[in-house]
Amino acid sequence: MIGIVASIIDGVLIGSVYGLAAMGLTLIWGVMKVINLAHGAIIMLGMFMLYLIVTALGLPAYSATPVMIAVGFVLGVALYWIAVHRMIGRPELMSLLATFSVNMVLIGLGTAWWSTSPYNVPVSIAGVTWGRYTFTGTHITAAILAVLIAGLLYLLLYRTRVGKAIRAVANNRDAAELAGIPTTQVLSFAFGLGVALAGASGTLIATLFPFTVLSGEAYQLKSFVVTVLGGLGNPAGALLGGIALGLIEGLATPFMPVSWIPIVEFGLFVFCLIAFPRGIFAFSKA
C-alpha cells in the first residue's frame, strides 16, 4: 500500500515538470493558434544549457533555469519574427510546417555539435526518506521550481498589464487591436514566453534523467498528451494535465512492462483528442 502512495507522490513530482513543459506549448496555442512543433528542440536546448552551465562554466545546476528563461525568451522573440509572423492568419498547415522547419534546423545543429550520444549531468541534493522509500532531492526541487515558475506565469498573466494584453489578444485579436493594444508585439512577447517556459522545463528535466539531442522529441510528445488532457490553450489545465500524466506513468509502472507505457500514453492521447477536444479539465480559457 505504502508503495502505491510512494508511486503517486513521485508521479505528482515528475508530472509537475511535464506540466511546466506543456505550459509553453499551450500558451502559444492559446494566444496565436499556432502549434509550436519546435517545442521539443527547445526543451533539448534547455537540457544542453544545463550541461554547459555545469560542466563548462562550473556554476550551480539550478542557475541554468533563469539563464535559460532569459535566453529562451530572446530566442523565442527572434523565432517569432523569423518563422511565425508571416504564418499568422494563414492555414494551420503553414504554421505547422514553419515551426517544424525550425525544429529540423535546431535538431540538425544540435546533432552536429553534440552528436546523438547520451549526456548526464549529476546533480546531488539530499532526498527525503519515508519508511523504505526515498524521494530524491532532484525530483522534489524540480517539482518545487516548476510550480514556482507556473505561479510566476500566473502572476504575469493575471496581475500585470502585459498579461492583460496577452489575455485580450488570446480572446479576440481584432478587438484588442481596436482597443489600442499593439497586438503584433504581444504575439512576439507571448511566443518568447512560451519558448522560455519550454527551455526552463528542459533544464529541470535534465537534472532528473540522462538526455540526448533527440530526447526533446519524447517530451514534446508528452507535452501534447498533457495539453490534450488539460485542454489546448489553458495554462492552468496544463499543470493539472502534467500531474495526471505523471500519475498515470507512476501508477502504471508497477503493473506493466516499461515498454508498454508509451502505448498507453499515445492511446490515451488519441482517445482524449477525439473524446474531449477541449480537455478533461476544461475550465475557463486563459
Partner 1 sequence: MWYRPFPWLIVGAALVYALLPYFTDNVQLRESLLLAAIYIILASNLNLMIGYAGYVNFGNIVFFGLGGYVCLYLVNDFQWPLVLAALVGGVAVSAVALLFGLGILRLRGAFFALATIGVNQAIAQLVTNFEPWGGATGIYLSLDAYGPLGGPLQALWITYLLIVALMAVSLLASYAIRNSKFGLGLLAIGQNEDAAAVLGVPTPLYKALIYSASAFLPAVAGGIYFFKSGIIEPTSAFNLQTSIEAIVMVMLGGAGTILGPALGAFLYEELRGYLLTAETFSHFQLVIAGVLLLLIVQFVPGGLMGLIYRRLPRMRKILE
Site residues, partner 1 (CB under 8 A):
29, 33, 35, 82-83, 86-87, 90-94, 96-98, 100-105, 107-109, 111-112, 217, 221, 224-225, 228, 232, 257, 259-260, 262-263, 266-267, 269-270, 273-274, 277
Distance CA 242, CA 193 (A): 19
- Tracing cell 507505457 back to the chain, one arrives at 261
Between 26 and 203, CB nearer to partner 1: 26
Least distance in angstroms from the C-beta of 36 to partner 1? 11
Between 53 and 98, CB nearer to partner 1: 98
Distance CA 131, CA 109 (A): 46
Listed in sequence order, the residues at least 6 apart from 127 whose beta carbon sits closer than 8 Å to its beta carbon are 134, 135, 136, 137, 139, 140
Between 65 and 227, CB nearer to partner 1: 227
Listed in sequence order, the residues at least 6 apart from 1 whose beta carbon sits closer than 8 Å to its beta carbon are none
Least distance in angstroms from the C-beta of 132 to partner 1? 31
Least distance in angstroms from the C-beta of 77 to partner 1? 17
Amino acid at 139: H
Between 34 and 50, CB nearer to partner 1: 34
Least distance in angstroms from the C-beta of 141 to partner 1? 30
Between 94 and 280, CB nearer to partner 1: 94
233 Rama sector, left if φ>0, alpha if ψ -120 to 50, beta otherwise? left
Distance CA 63, CA 269 (A): 34
Least distance in angstroms from the C-beta of 109 to partner 1? 6
Distance CA 97, CA 91 (A): 10
**Contact present, 31 and 166 (Cβ < 8 Å):** yes
Least distance in angstroms from the C-beta of 189 to partner 1? 21
Between 151 and 267, CB nearer to partner 1: 267
Distance CA 232, CA 278 (A): 7
